[in-house]
Structure 1
Amino acid sequence: MTKQADTLLPELRARLPDRLPPRLGVAVSGGGDSVALLLLLHEIAHNEPIRLFAATVNHDLRPEAAAEADQVAELAARLGIPHETLLWQGWDGAGNLQDQARQARYRLLTDWAQRNDIPAIALGHTADDQAETVLMRLGRASGVSGLSGMPYARDHCGVTLLRPMLGITRQSLRDYLLGLGEGWIEDPSNHDQKFDRIKAREALTALGALGISAQSLARVAENLAQAREALALYTQESARKFAKVDRGDVCIDRNGFRLLPTEIQRRLIVGIIAWIAGQGYPPRAAAVEQAMAAVGEGQTLTLAGCLLISHQDKAWFCRELNAVSTATAAPQEVWDNRWVLSGPLTAGAEVRVLGEAGLPQVPEWRALGKPRQTLLSSPAVWSGENLLAAPLADFTNGWTAEFAAYRPEFYSSLLSH
């Protein structure tokens, strides 16, 4: 073990769960950060009952990408670690490249983990990455949650993503690799000034004269993360008082909502949207403020794949019909990343939205006392144009609708934002 490892290993281990899962994934791009992570975790695995699995995402954006993934595979083979290369295909060129690549990377990694019964994946983000994130969010006038940066751990589609190196600098990891005589791959995009992250990296260098460093900004993010957790707890307590879950929708008492501090109102709405529509970037601040006003004033609007309906002294949040109008799944498969419908074996049965065609076929939906729009976007079982069941509208016909196993309970989900 090198002198650098003696320093890095305790810091890394302290940011991992006390009890590691028996199968732990490692995302390895071939860059210095992720190569160092793989080697350090390999050291930890010598002393703890865990087995490592490595994966590399080939975004297929550069001619060298395939060869670089092969280099990672060779390193993993030398260490005796199973490795798989995950290829990103099908990008149509629309949208922000870095954002699209990031979303694809997490999707491919979590799919890989689920296929291989791997409950957690370690990622190679460093204190420098955290500092750059904080600087970029400063430029967007972010609040406490934004400036608290990336969390050390979070759930993504039932897989825990771990970032145990957020307190370790990029340079210290490279010093560790140099001490071992290990090489790494330098991605040329790390010097491309058209990307905001690279601009933030350059700005961070200039800020050194003021005593602002990657480590100091990472500590700021950690301090704000503690404040974020306190606010999240307050939000959860408020939700238990003023919000209830009704068949996958959330109903808020509008009078109670008005009593909450503005920041807690904002967090509650963002948490509801994330729970109903799925994780991802939260809605823009202006859109959240519109939703806050709509709850208070009794208005109806759409927001980030959700529909807000004001009904008497309540505000209902449900899935927006247009967001799920084309979603399909087979019975017992996950529909809209939320629901699993199970029932009698029926040839040709398909899960689709209940919609305008299905609701008139549900005899007693009004007895539920819910706004009509909340039921339109609920899942139903169809055989062609024949409605077989709509469990959330009380037309069960032997069918049930349950949340996907990886979806958190609503109130606990508020602690993860």
Structure 2
Amino acid sequence: MSFADLHQSILRVPPGKWAVGVSGGADSVALLTLLSRRADLTLHVVHLDHELRGEESREDARFVAELAARLGLACSVARRAEIEPTLSDRSTNVEARLRACRHALFRRVVRENALAGVVLAHHLEDQAETVLMRLSRGGWLWTLRSMGLDSRVGDLTILRPLLPHRRARLREWLVSIGQEWREDSSNRSKQFARNRARAAMSATGVDVGQGGELAASLVELAESASRLCAWIDAALAPLPERFCAGELAKLATILARRAGMRWLAAHGCDPAALSTNVLDRFIAMARDAATPSRQHFPGGVLVRRRGGIISVELPRAAARSSRAVPRSFPDA
């Protein structure tokens, strides 16, 4: 059986030094073994022990460390208890908190070893499950965008070269080379939203792992959302520092939400905290004069509406400092 399609996808990773996120499961082990066959890559294996399954979790960590050693690769293993206290924002959602821990570990390893970024093993079913989870939470257009083959989360570059491929294809590769992997028993737990999404898709009788149409439709939805978002971003003019409420009020809601998200993020709000409820509250400040004229938004950003003009209200100390330094420009 030929695996030219997988090897071709792996060529998307530029030559250089990269971290590789490896859980020990089939997907990440397939990614690692494929990458390790490239002579122009210097790989550093990264594993986070989530400490959710006791000895089973520790066995996963040992498996990954031994696999890295056998391949002659550097390896960093950390426990959740080491990373979690360093997080600036600890989400109450377990899955979000674990993802934040992994990203924090990836950033640390990338920074300390001067790596280009991290390569992850997301595949087509991961994409479909992510879209289904976001739909179930009432996601809007921007949250339905597909994961990209490459992206940046803050200062971390993330590559996902296996995104077009199905889970079963990666297992076929591992079987062909006689490579074992670990099975995570927590994948059967209904505590996690991703597992519930996977179970819901299987319950339709169209198993995403068997080439079902549901997975393909969800991925098509995500890709269409990405294209539409890109078009809107290119066409939508940014709101100025201080703007007339009417500029935002006249926009269709889907455009007003995006304009509001960009403006709030530019003024210090965490984009991840800008839910539709938060954005609609911001839009209401422009559309309804009866709404409070001073409102706080995520990150402690205070927005003010005065005389039909919307702006960020600086803390008093900052405002005094701003007034103390005249903003003058040289004569032309």
Same fold (TM over 0.5): yes
Q: 1:142 to 1:362 in 2, by over 3 A?
A: closer
What are the within-5 Å matches in structure 2 for residues 231-250 of structure 1?
231-235=232-236, 238-239=237-238, 242-244=239-241
Q: Could you tell me which residue of structure 2 aligns to residue 6 of structure 1? A: 4
Q: As a proportion of its length, which structure holds more strand?
A: 1
Structure-2 change in CA distance of 1:60 and 1:363 (3 Å)? closer
Offset, 1:297: 4.3
Residue 114 of structure 1 corresponds to 111
Distance 1:209 1:104, change over 3 A: closer
Task: Tell me, in whole angstroms, the C-alpha distance in 1 between the residues paired with 2:269 and 2:171.
Answer: 37
* Aligned-residue identity in percent: 27
Is residue 307 from structure 1 mapped to residue 282 from structure 2 by the alignment?
no
Q: CA deviation at 1:66?
A: 2.7
Higher relative contact order structure (alpha carbons within 8 Å, sequence separation ≥ 6): 2
1:72 aligns with 2:42: no
Whole-angstrom distance in 2 between the partners of 1:198 and 1:116: 34
Code of the residue aligned with 2:61 in structure 1: it is A
- 1:171 has 2:168 as partner: yes
Alignment partner for residue 50 of structure 1, among 41, 50, 64? 41
Letter in 1 for 2:145: S
Question: Which of 156, 162, 174 is equivalent to 2:153?
Answer: 156
Q: Does 1:96 align with 2:93?
A: yes
Does residue 83 in structure 1 map to residue 75 in structure 2? yes
Q: Given residue 78 of structure 2, which amino acid in structure 1 is its aligned partner?
A: L
Question: TM-score of the superposition, structure 2-length normalised?
Answer: 0.84
Matched residues in 1 for 2:78 and 2:104: separation? 10
Paired amino acid for 1:150: M
Match of 1:109, as an amino acid?
F
Q: Does 1:190 align with 2:181?
A: no
Secondary structure (helix, strand or coil) at the match of 1:67 reads helix
Deviations 1:136-171 (A, max 9, x none): 122123222222232332212312112222211111
Q: Show the counterpart of 1:214.
A: 215
Rate the CA distance shift 1:140–1:40 in 2: closer, same or farther, 3 A: same
- Whether the aligned pair in 2 keeps the contact of 1:55 and 1:109 (CA below 8 Å) is yes
Selected match of 1:316 from 300, 305, 311: 311
Name the CA shift for 1:122/1:209 in 2 (closer, same or farther; >3 Å): closer
Whether the 8 Å CA contact 1:24–1:119 is kept in 2: the answer is yes
Residue of structure 2 equivalent to 1:147: 144
Q: Which amino acid aligns with 2:165?
A: I
Q: Does the 8 A contact of 1:283 with 1:304 survive in 2? A: yes
Q: Which moved more, 1:187-196 or 1:359-368?
A: 359-368
Q: State how far apart, in whole Å, the 2-side matches of 1:127 and 1:279 are.
A: 28
1:283: how far off? 2.1
Residue 133 (structure 1) aligned with residue 130 (structure 2): yes
* TM-score, scaled relative to structure 1: 0.68
Equivalent in the alignment of 2:261? 270
**Per the alignment, in what secondary structure is the counterpart of residue 272 of structure 2?**
coil
1:31 aligned onto 2:31:
no
Q: Give SS of 1:243's match.
A: coil
Task: Output the aligned Cα RMSD.
Answer: 2.8
The alignment partner of 1:104 has SS state of helix
Deviation at 1:218, TM superposition (A): 2.1
Q: In the TM superposition, what is the alpha-carbon distance from 1:223 to its structure 2 partner?
A: 2.5
2:26–2:181 CA contact under 8 A, matched in 1: yes
Runs of 5+ in structure 1 lacking a partner? Answer: 245-250, 320-354, 369-417
- Specify the code of the residue in structure 2 equivalent to 1:144: L
Per the alignment, do residues 361 and 206 of structure 1 end up closer, same or farther by CA in structure 2, a change over 3 Å counting? closer
State the AA in 2 paired with 1:75. L
The residue identity in structure 2 corresponding to 1:107 is A
State yes or no: 1:285 paired with 2:276.
yes
Alignment CA distance shift 1:212-1:255 (3 Å): same
Residues 272 and 317 of structure 1 are in contact (CA less than 8 Å); yes or no, is this contact kept in structure 2? no
What residue number does 2:330 align with? Answer: none
Cα shift at 1:68:
1.5
Unpaired runs of at least 5, structure 2: 328-332
Q: Distance in 2 between matches of 1:317 and 1:222?
A: 35
1:315 maps to a residue whose letter is: I
Contact 1:126 1:166 in 2 (8 A): yes
Helix, strand or coil: the match of 2:213? Answer: coil
Q: Deviations over 1:214-243 (max 9, x none)?
A: 3442233223221221122223xx10xx32
SS in structure 1 at match of 2:36? helix
Local SS of the residue matching 2:204: helix
